[in-house]
Amino acid sequence: MLAGRAPATGDGDVKPHSGGDTDLRPGAPGWRQAVDDHYAGLADALETMDSDERARFEDDYARATGVLPGAIAKSLRGGLLSADPAGQTAAAQRLARLKDDDPNLIAIIPENERARAGAIAELADLGLPPARIVELAEEKLADGKDQFAGGTGDDTLVGGPAPKTYPTDDGRNPIFKRFRNNLARFEKGFVDIKTDPGGPTNKGISQKFLDRLNRRHPEWKLPKNTRNLKVDHIDGIFRSEFFDRPKIQDVVDIPGLMQQAPQLPEQLFDAGVLHGTETAGTLLQKSLDEHLGTDLRVTKNGKKIYDGNVGPATRAAIARAIKQGKIKAVNDTMVKKRLEFMRNLPAFKNNPGWVPRAKSFRIGSPGGP
């Protein structure tokens, strides 16, 4: 008779298993091999389960017997090391749940793979696409932080978390997450175009802008070269400099805007990344003035200029355009002005993706360009 217990169903119930003389109690002589042999005998029952039922069964079996059978470990390792980011994330989350119940359950998984699973599982709660989760986890592992070893009864952080001096994205703003993920379609990898006045660019952060940040915020201790920027550097910069500082959330919160023209605040964010926040704000202010007959210029040194600051006056103009049913036309006029602006830039001919990028925010409204 089995002295240990094993799950008899895939519905989460753990029931005593009777029959035979194998001792499945944790630590009993030949315990691990006995569990593997017993689990192998359940193959026919496993074939009748769908993937979710089987996952629950496997996890319950490990908890009940106190060890992860080799066949389950092999399956989870296959998912963790697969080319599919979604499969990697699912496997990592299962391993994290098992580790929470008993770190020794996953001791059979090699330590470097446990570390990878821990990094992925921790980031999975941010709601990012699986590919971004895996990318960010790999960079964290390369930096020697946010890794857990487990398998010792302790929550071990290999290397420990590195202190953060630069701005970071906490992952809690769904609007920023959506804008940032959409931006990733256009800002891809490290690019060094000799005619680009901004210099080498890494996922949208130019060398010129990075130099400016390092002068303004030496305490952030950012890399000197864009090539060395990590994903969490870049996400933090996008959040701090292109979302929080220009108050994009305040624009999003203007009543009626996200119902009538959700493209506008995202275009403002995107244009800020591509052209600079002052230029993006100026293009918006000019578009508002064109449709509302307002004058959003300010006086500076005796001259009337657009300052590009999307402050209370500009946000009030946006609210007015919403009430007058003109906000879609304002958005599309901003697209037109972006195209006019970028066509006059020296780097325009080497960046054919700029035009479809700007046009992707067009609504096609009556009264628009």
Q: Looking at the structure, do residues 135 and 207 belong to the same domain, yes or no?
A: no
In angstroms, how far is CA 323 from the centroid of its own chain?
A: 35
* Last-in-domain residue among 142, 165, 186: 142
Contacts of residue 148, defined as CB under 8 A and 6 or more positions apart, other chains included, come to 99, 114, 115, 118, 155, 156, 157, 158
Q: Looking at the structure, do residues 189 and 294 belong to the same domain, yes or no?
A: yes
Contacts of residue 346, defined as CB under 8 A and 6 or more positions apart, other chains included, come to 195, 197
CATH of the domain at 244: 1.20.141.10
* Last-in-domain residue among 142, 164, 186: 142
- Cα dihedral: 283, 287, 289, 290 (round 10): 130
| pLDDT for the residue 365 | 65
The verdict on residue 268 lying in a domain is: yes
Secondary structure (DSSP) of 169-222 = --S--HHHHHHHHHHTTT--SEE--TT-TT-SEETTEEHHHHHHHHHH-GGG--
Q: Which residues pair with 298 in a beta bridge?
A: 305
pTM (2 decimals)?
Answer: 0.57
Q: pLDDT tens digits for 196-231?
A: 778 888 998 999 999 999 998 888 889 999 999 998
Q: Looking at the structure, do residues 303 and 188 belong to the same domain, yes or no?
A: yes
Nearest to 191 by CA among 346, 350, 17, 2: 350
* Last-in-domain residue among 119, 142, 165: 142
The verdict on residue 367 lying in a domain is: no
Q: Looking at the structure, do residues 99 and 203 belong to the same domain, yes or no?
A: no
The verdict on residue 77 lying in a domain is: yes
Give CA–CA dist 152/343, Å, rounded: 61
Which range among 129-138, 152-161, 230-239, 279-288 shows the weakest confidence by mean pLDDT?
Answer: 152-161
Q: Looking at the structure, do residues 112 and 255 belong to the same domain, yes or no?
A: no
Contacts of residue 316, defined as CB under 8 A and 6 or more positions apart, other chains included, come to none
Domain count, the chain: 2
Q: Looking at the structure, do residues 207 and 258 belong to the same domain, yes or no?
A: yes
- Taking phi first (over 0 means left), then psi (-120 to 50 degrees means alpha), and beta for anything else, what does residue 204 get? left
The verdict on residue 151 lying in a domain is: no
At residue 293 the predicted structure's pLDDT band, cuts being 50, 70 and 90, is very high
Phi and psi angles of residue 148, each rounded to the nearest 5 degrees, phi first: -115, 140
Which range among 195-204, 278-287, 310-319 shows the weakest confidence by mean pLDDT?
Answer: 195-204
Q: Looking at the structure, do residues 105 and 195 belong to the same domain, yes or no?
A: no
Read off the tokens for 319: 């609210």
Q: pLDDT tens digits for 146-195?
A: 333 333 333 222 233 334 577 887 778 899 999 999 998 888 788 887 77
The verdict on residue 282 lying in a domain is: yes
The verdict on residue 345 lying in a domain is: yes
Side-chain-facing half-sphere of 135: CA atoms under 13 Å: 14
Contacts of residue 302, defined as CB under 8 A and 6 or more positions apart, other chains included, come to none
Q: Looking at the structure, do residues 205 and 77 belong to the same domain, yes or no?
A: no
The verdict on residue 161 lying in a domain is: no
Q: Looking at the structure, do residues 184 and 327 belong to the same domain, yes or no?
A: yes
Give CA–CA dist 331/1, Å, rounded: 74
Q: Looking at the structure, do residues 131 and 200 belong to the same domain, yes or no?
A: no
Q: Looking at the structure, do residues 124 and 14 belong to the same domain, yes or no?
A: yes
The verdict on residue 152 lying in a domain is: no
Q: Looking at the structure, do residues 352 and 277 belong to the same domain, yes or no?
A: yes
Cα distances from 322 to residues 103, 119, 359, in angstroms, run 55, 44, 21
> What is the span of the domain harbouring residue 325?
174-359
Q: pLDDT tens digits for 249-270?
A: 999 999 999 999 999 999 999 9
